[in-house]
Amino acid sequence: GSTIGILGGGQLGRMLSLAAARLGLKTSVYEPDPNAPAGQVCDKLTTASYDDLDALRAWAADVDVITYEFENIPTDALDALEALKPIHPNRRALAVSQDRLTEKAFLTDLGLKTAPFAAVDDAEDMAEALTEIGAPAILKTRRFGYDGKGQARIKTAEDAEQALADMNGAPAIFEGFVDFSHEVSVIAARGTTGEVACFDPGENVHVNGILHTTTVPARLSAKQRTDAVLLAAQILNKLGYVGVMGVELFVTPQGLVVNEIAPRVHNSGHWTQAGCAVDQFEQHIRAVAGWPLGDGQRYADVVMTNLIGDDAHTWPELAKQPNTQIHLYGKAEARAGRKMGHVNRITKA
Ligand code: ATP
Ligand code: MG
Ligand code: MG
């Protein structure tokens, strides 16, 4: 059997490993933290730093294909690995999604709508963005942001000054505030032969910048649903993508606006574990292993709720509830804001 190499051993790596095991495939996870969630379920865990290129090369020697569960993999590591084994999704997909400015430029080049944006590195750029785009707006770090971290809302000139100071010189992107009615995401997959399959869009609610629930079906018209799936396919095809991608969208009266893309399985796709014969994790493993894509047709209505921090302690109550699937990631410490697990509740089968 072949071995899938996974960079990153968080909960996404863990659920990818479990899906691979069901298909008779082995997983070898590369992850600095020996207590990371994937370590408990993968076939082999290599604990070394992403800066340790010798360790990376030795790890890659024993895998057939390389994938990843997070997008901030250092360039040097990727250069070393790319020379040895195929990496799916490809470097272009990573480069585009690692930097919010590159990402927005890529999306607008495709003819897709995004928030109005401008690069902001200094006070002069900021003044220009405030004039051209205006407030309300959001200033975001171009790289490394997640769960709403590294973002500041801007309503006034004082906010803008403070937001820029808080960047500490890190390159930033200024985004005009999109007046959306709700947020949805499409989990899309593309196989090695170029076939594309999308899961039904889910509707996302964030609390304190962190995804709280995803509900399917999302509130979308037939046209919006088609638009969402077609634009996702456009993105994957343009990138020559192989694997699963999460595409976050704002729903507005003027149409769908792309917020960001994630070149990996996505938290807003966890509902597929209870709503589809083939979930996003199996779909990703199928794609990177060169299998045909599976049938991701939705056969149930589902609400996925994240268990954040102390929420995880409610599991004994949740375990008594009907139509409820519980996923716990095996993290020892329930720190505030930490994703500890999730619950998929089937609301209509
Ligand atoms: P994730 O954990 O999804 O990777 P992130 O830190 O990359 O999050 P974004 O997805 O860019 O952050 O933004 C987080 C949330 O902030 C969005 O889901 C949306 O609710 C709000 N938001 C971000 N950008 C805009 C915008 N331009 N206009 C309006 N709301 C926005
Ligand atoms: Mg993000
Ligand atoms: Mg986001």
In DSSP notation, 78-103 reads HHHHHTTS-BSS-HHHHHHHHSHHHH
- Spatial separation of the C-alpha atoms in residues 289 and 308, rounded to whole Å: 32
Q: Estimate the crossing angle of helix 123-132 against helix 157-166, to 10 degrees.
A: 140
| Secondary structure (DSSP) of 172-225 | EEEEEPP--SEEEEEEEEE-TTS-EEEPPPEEEEEETTEEEEEEES-S--HHHH
Same domain assignment for residues 149 and 197: no
Among 259, 260, 266, 267, which is best to mutate for testing ligand 1, by the most ligand atoms less than 8 A from CB?
259
How far is the C-alpha of 301 from the C-alpha of 7, rounded, in Å? 32
Q: Are residues 244 and 193 in the same domain?
A: yes
Identify the segments of the chain with pLDDT beneath 50: none
Task: Flag whether 252 is in a domain.
Answer: yes
Residue 259 CA, ligand 1 centroid: distance in Å: 7
Pocket of ligand 1 (CB under 6 A): 115, 138, 145-149, 175, 177-178, 183, 206, 209, 248, 259-260
* Domain that residue 24 falls in: 3-87
Query: 67 and 206 share a domain?
Result: no
Tens digits of residue pLDDT in 110-157? 999 999 999 999 999 999 999 999 999 999 999 999 999 999 999 999
Rounded distance between C-alpha atoms, residue 306 and residue 327, angstroms: 9
Residue 110 belongs to a domain = no
Q: Which pair of tokens denotes residue 258?
A: 């792309």
Q: Is residue 193 part of a domain?
A: yes
CA of 266 to the centre of ligand 3 (A): 10
Which atom of ligand 1 is nearest to 146's Cα? 6
DSSP structure class, residue 276: B
Tell whether 104 is covered by a domain. no
Cis preceding linkage at 32, omega within 30: no
Q: Is the domain of 72 the same as that of 138?
A: no
Query: Is residue 172 domain-resident?
Result: yes
Q: What is the pLDDT of residue 308?
A: 97
Output the pLDDT for position 1.
Answer: 66
Residues 83, 53 share a domain: yes
Give the per-residue pLDDT at 4: 98
Q: What are the structure tokens assigned to 116, written together?
A: 């109005």
CATH number at 259 reads 3.30.470.20
Q: Could you tell me if residue 7 is inside a domain?
A: yes
Residue 275's SS3 state is helix
Tell me how far the alpha carbon of residue 328 lies from the centroid of ligand 3, in angstroms. Answer: 22
329-344 in b/e form (b: 16+ CB < 10 A) is bebeeeeeebbbbbbb
> Which residue's CA is the closest to the ligand 1 atom numbered 7?
146
Q: Which two tokens stand for residue 211?
A: 């995804």
Determine the 3-state secondary structure of 25 from DSSP: coil
In the chain, the number of structural domains is: 3
